[in-house]
Amino acid sequence: MPLVAHNDLPTFTKLKQEGMQVLTPGLANQQDIRELHIGLLNMMPDAALAATERQFLRLIGESNPIAQFFVHPFTLDALPRDESARDHVASYYDSFEQIKQQGLDALIITGANVIGADLSKEVFWDQLIEVADWAHENVTSTLCSCLATHAVLDFRYGQKREKQRRKKWGVYRHQVVNVSHPLVDDINSEFDVPHSRWNTVYPEQFEASDLKILVTGDDGCVHLSTSPDGFRTVFFQGHPEYDTVSLLKEYKRDVHLYIRGEISDYPPMPDNYFSDFNAAVLREYQMRVDLSLLQESPLPEFPEHLLVTNLKNTWQDTASAVIGTWLGLIYQVTNVDRGKPFMDGVDADNPLGL
């Protein structure tokens, strides 16, 4: 069933404008359908805060139509925010204390921008551990995205990420390698996933912690895996939630960093993302930028309007299917009382009976 707009979060309005069905609380109360309450720990920086909301709420709203989805965004007090973002959080987000009091059926933890290589030195580290540990004991399943995956693997399993010589950035082909797991039982055996990261946790590190690897990329990197019990924690290293334009926005941001002199090299294009036409447009734009900087003349406008219509999304259907299956499994094993993660008779050490 659809999302329920239980508060005035602007993301609900934008999703309705996209054509997604979003119920008012009044309509939701008239339906005799079970609710699922999903927390969204949004750790993204201010510029990406609302976009990240939309991406994950869209995936949830497009998923398996079995329940009414109440999504509760919250963030960490330790994360620095500007005044506008603080107002947004104060107006539309729950506090962690409220989250703990009301309980959750599931939790999604987003990525975050970090400063250094050692995650334990980040300002959010202790608060993130507190949330993740609480969820491990009180929530049926937690889904970790990219940086959150690296953080949980670090503090819970002692597996530290390693910086790669080259940023993994673009859209990459992946394969299901564990067809017996219900999370990937009903999806294509091969599909695409966007990635955007300098760091990685290698397959050997997942295996050393007895984590279940479900999906790997052509280069062998792990995209999707789970905790040893098969369900309590789900790990993404990629970004299946990305919009069609997300990588374009990242590329545009990096180009502007180059123009302002904050990075020395012109950024490479993301792999397997731009069409031949788009790549040609962007190569021409790069030449014009470099010439303008050399001559100290006015800079050309970034040609976003020429690029958007030629972008293709080759990952969203599979992403929606995986999220839909995840929520369906949560629905099957979760106790109606959100203070108890599993129904009576469900083995917490093996909730899916794998």
Per-residue pLDDT tens, the chain, 354 aa: give them.
566 777 888 887 887 787 666 767 765 555 556 789 999 999 999 999 999 999 999 999 887 666 788 999 999 999 999 999 999 999 999 999 999 999 999 999 999 988 778 999 999 999 999 999 999 999 999 999 999 999 999 999 999 999 999 999 999 999 999 999 999 988 999 999 999 999 999 999 999 999 999 999 999 999 999 999 999 999 999 999 999 999 999 999 999 999 999 999 999 999 999 999 999 999 999 999 999 999 999 999 999 999 999 999 999 999 999 999 999 889 888 888 887 899 888 888 999 888
Q: Radius of gyration over alpha carbons of the chain, in Å?
A: 21
With CA atoms as reference, report the closest residue to 251 among 194, 293, 296: 194
Backbone angles phi and psi of 170, in degrees to 5? 145, -155
Assess whether 241 carries a catalytic annotation.
yes
Which residue's entry shows tokens 């987000």? 93
| Domains in the chain: ranges and CATH | 3-242+313-333 (3.40.50.880), 246-310 (no CATH)
Other C-beta atoms closer than 10 Å to the C-beta of 219 total 10
Does the pTM surpass 0.85? The reply is yes
Distance from C-alpha of 223 to C-alpha of 216, rounded to nearest angstrom: 5
H or E element in which residue 224 lies? strand 222-226
What is the three-class DSSP state of 35? strand
Q: Which of 37, 53, 146, 221 is catalytic?
A: 146
Assess whether 195 carries a catalytic annotation.
no
Distance from C-alpha of 182 to C-alpha of 184, rounded to nearest angstrom: 5
To the nearest 10 degrees (0 to 180), the angle between helices 276-295 and 246-259 is 20
Q: DSSP assignment, residue 214?
A: E
Length of the chain measured in residues? 354
Residues 348 and 229 sit within 8 Å (Cβ to Cβ): yes
Query: In this predicted structure, what is the pLDDT of residue 280?
Result: 98
Q: What residue type is assigned to position 88 of the chain?
A: H
Other C-beta atoms closer than 10 Å to the C-beta of 40 total 23
Query: In this predicted structure, what is the pLDDT of residue 331?
Result: 87
Which residue's entry shows tokens 């693997």? 153
Structure tokens of 71? Answer: 């999504």
Distance from C-alpha of 137 to C-alpha of 130, rounded to nearest angstrom: 11
Query: In this predicted structure, what is the pLDDT of residue 20?
Result: 63
